[in-house]
Amino acid sequence: MHERHPRVGDSWRRRFDSLVLFTPRRISALPGLALEGDPRGYPCKDEMGDYLERYAARFSLPVVTGNGVARLLREHEHFLAELDDGDVISSRAVVIATGAFQRPRVPTFAGRLAPCVLQLDATTYRNPAQIIGRRVMIVGDGATGRQIALELAPRHSVMLSAGHRRNFGFQRLFGVDTTELALRSGLLTADKASVAGRLVRVLNVTPGLNLQLRALRRAGIEVMPRCIDAEETRVALADGSQRDVDAVIFAMGYDDDTTWVDIPGATEGGRFSEQRGISPVPRLYHVGRDWQTSRASGLLCGVAYDAETIGDHLTHRLAGTTRRRTPRPC
C-alpha cells in the first residue's frame, strides 16, 4: 500500500480545522479497533487521522508513506505502478482506494476573478483567519459549504450560492444518532438496487437541522441563487444580479482524479469506470467509492463489507476462477 502523504491519515488532517464527522464514534471505526472516547460523541478530523495511523500500526499494515503512485500502467498480464521516487512496482492486481474526495470542482469562471480576490476550495480552506476581507461568497451549498458559511458568519458578510434542493434532518432522535438508527434498521446498508436503497439515495438526507437554509438565514447568512459567472471582483448570479466579493470559497463537491491512471478502459469521461468496485479492466478494483454498493460504502462503517467483497472477488480471480457474491449488509 502506497500513501503520498508523510503520515497515514494525513488526508483527514488536511481538511478544514473545525471539521467534525456526522457519524458517532461507535459507527465510525474499522473492524477490530474501536475509536477512543465517548462512543456517542462525534470525532474531529484530526482524531480520525490519528485513528487510521493507530489502525495501520496495530495490524502491521504494509503502508509506505511519502511515496505515492505517479502513474499506473498495464503491460500484458501485469500492472506497473510508477512511484513518485521513480521506482516501479509490478503486480498482478491493483485496488484503487483513493476515496471519494479527490479533486475539488472549480468552475471555469474562477479564472476571470481578479488576483486580489482570494480563492479557496474545500481542500485549501482551513479557518476564518485566512479571510482578510469581509465579503465572502461560498459557491456550493452542500454540507461542507454550509458548515464553512456558519463558521465565517460571526465575523464576515457571508453569501451562500445555493443550487438544487437539499434535505437536512435530525442529528439525533430520542437520544440516538439518526445515522446509527439507519445502520441498525438496514437502510444505510441496503443495496443500491433495492427499493430501500433507491429511496435512501433519492431522499439523500444529511444529519444537521442547523444546516437548513432557514437556520443559515437566522445566522445572518445571505442565501443567493446559483453563481454562474465572474469578472474581476464581481460574481454573477442566475437571477441576473451581481455581487462584489473579497473572497470566494468553492465547495461544489469533488471529481475523480484519473490523470495518473494510463490504462485503456479504466476511465471514461474523467471518471473511473467500475461496477460495484469492479473495473472492466481485468484484476483492477476500487474500494471506497460513493454508493459502491450502498449508502454506507462512502462511510467507515460500510467500507469493510465492500473491501471483503472485492477481496473475495480478487482472490478467486487470481486463482483462475470467478464467483458472484450476493450483496449483503455490513
Per-residue pLDDT band for 296 (boundaries 50, 70, 90) equals very high
Per-residue pLDDT band for 272 (boundaries 50, 70, 90) equals very high
112-122 tens-digit pLDDT: 999 999 999 98
Grid cell at residue 326: 450476493
- Which element (helix H / strand E) includes 88? strand 88-91
Identify the residue whose cell numbers are 500484458: 76
Q: Exposed (0-12), middle (13-18) or buried (19+): which is 294, by Cβ within 10 Å?
A: buried
Separation CA 188–CA 190 (nearest Å): 6
Write 222-228 long-range contacts (CB < 8 A, 24+).
Answer: 222/157, 222/158, 222/159, 222/160, 223/141, 223/159, 223/160, 223/162, 224/137, 224/159, 224/160, 224/161, 224/162, 225/161, 225/162, 226/161, 226/162, 226/163, 227/107, 227/137, 227/139, 227/161, 228/109
Domains contained in the chain, CATH given: 2-102+255-318 (3.50.50.60), 104-170+208-254 (3.50.50.60)
Per-residue pLDDT band for 326 (boundaries 50, 70, 90) equals very low
34-61 tens-digit pLDDT: 999 999 999 999 999 999 999 999 999 9
